[in-house]
Amino acid sequence: MSLPIPGEQVRGSKTGKPIMALLDLLGRTWALGIVWQLSQGSATFRQLQQRCEQISPSLLNTRLKELKVLQLVESTPNGYQLTLTGQGLFSVISPLGEWSLQWASQIKKDDV
Amino acid sequence: MSLPIPGEQVRGSKTGKPIMALLDLLGRTWALGIVWQLSQGSATFRQLQQRCEQISPSLLNTRLKELKVLQLVESTPNGYQLTLTGQGLFSVISPLGEWSLQWASQIKKDDV
DNA sequence: AATATCGCTACTAATATTGTAGCATTGTTA
DNA sequence: TAACAATGCTACAATATTAGTAGCGATATT
């Protein structure tokens, strides 16, 4: 899959609007999950594999490459970590954690 | 694909944590995009297809079903629209719009 | 030197998405 | 009221993505 570079065409949009590039990126399997997991501290390749329970090494590596090119993740001698930009992204999406709890309890209520 | 129901196992996680269900859901092609587009007003099936430039009707329908079961989208005589819950989700992710602009300009800078 | 761990690649099978055609239903027009 | 158009959606084959597993080369440890 080609990289969703803001300013260029991306999967599902020809406008090049940054938000479309971002939605394309975050809409890829495990992309959000990797950012989420790395927000809890840097990790080596195999550590990250464990945090992302079911991810295959090939996909993990593919995603990491994408996230590196897009400057959300960087690799250091100590493993992978979020860049400053990546941390910025996380701070934007982190409210999802709390929101998901409300959402979950609401869906349960409606089951009854 | 099975539905990522909070409280149950989802793709990539056995813990059933709501955040994992949410990340699974949002990590599916066009899921975020549909929520984003519907935030700009309700739309009929074909209108939504046009807003989501490249989406195929089969996938659009699949995603809409998922989003309906998970109570983020509802269909009315006037077309599809976000539920109150869906609007809540959008208000959580809407800062991504502005953030993506900063991100884009930063990536461009580094190209130079 | 043998063993272990690591980052990662290679490859195939399974699954998801696209793309296109078109059906059934509901208006709309003549 | 018969022809026509538009809509929501399904069917299905082609293509692309992801999962799963094995294992290589490099570095570290015993």
B67 Cβ contact list (under 8 Å, min separation 6): B31, B34, B35, B73, B86
Selected residue of B1, B26, B66, B83 to mutate for chain A interface (largest A Cβ count, 10 A) = B26
CB contact (8 A) between residue B18 and residue A100: yes
Instruction: Take residue A6 and report the two structure tokens written for it.
Output: 């803001």
pLDDT over 80 (residue B108)? no
Predicted confidence (pLDDT) at residue B112 exceeds the cutoff of 70: no
In chain A, whose CA is at the least distance from the CA of B85? A103
Interface check A70 vs B, CB under 8 A: yes
What are the φ/ψ torsions at residue A20 (nearest 5 degrees)? -70, -40
Q: Which residues pair with B73 in a beta bridge?
A: B82
Domain boundaries defined on chain A: 18-111
Compute, in degrees rounded to 10, the torsion defined by CA atoms A104, A110, B2, B7.
30
Residue with the bigger pLDDT between B7 and B40: it is: B40
Distance A34 CA to C22 C1' (A): 41
d(CA B73, CA A23) in angstroms, rounded, equals 18
Q: Structurally, what CATH architecture does the domain formed by B18-111 represent?
A: Orthogonal Bundle (1.10)
Fill in the amino acid letter for B24.
D
Nearest-Cα residue of chain A relative to residue B101: A18
Model pLDDT, residue B111: 67
Give B14's contacts in chain A (Cβ within 8 Å).
53
Query: What integer best gives the mean pLDDT of chain B?
Result: 92
Task: Give bridge partners of residue B10 from the DSSP assignment.
Answer: B13
Other Cβ atoms closer than 10 A to A109: 8
Cβ of residue A28 near strand D, that is under 7 Å? yes
Q: What is the pLDDT of residue B110?
A: 73
Grouping H, G, I as helix, E, B as strand and the rest as coil, residue A74 is strand
pLDDT at B48 over 80: yes
Share of residues in chain B with pLDDT > 90 (%):
78
Tens-binned pLDDT, residue by residue, of chain A (112 aa): 789 999 888 987 888 899 999 999 999 999 999 999 999 999 999 999 999 987 999 999 999 999 999 999 999 988 999 999 999 999 999 999 999 999 999 987 776 6
The C-alpha atoms of residue A85 and residue B4 are separated, in whole angstroms, by 29
pLDDT at A109: 73
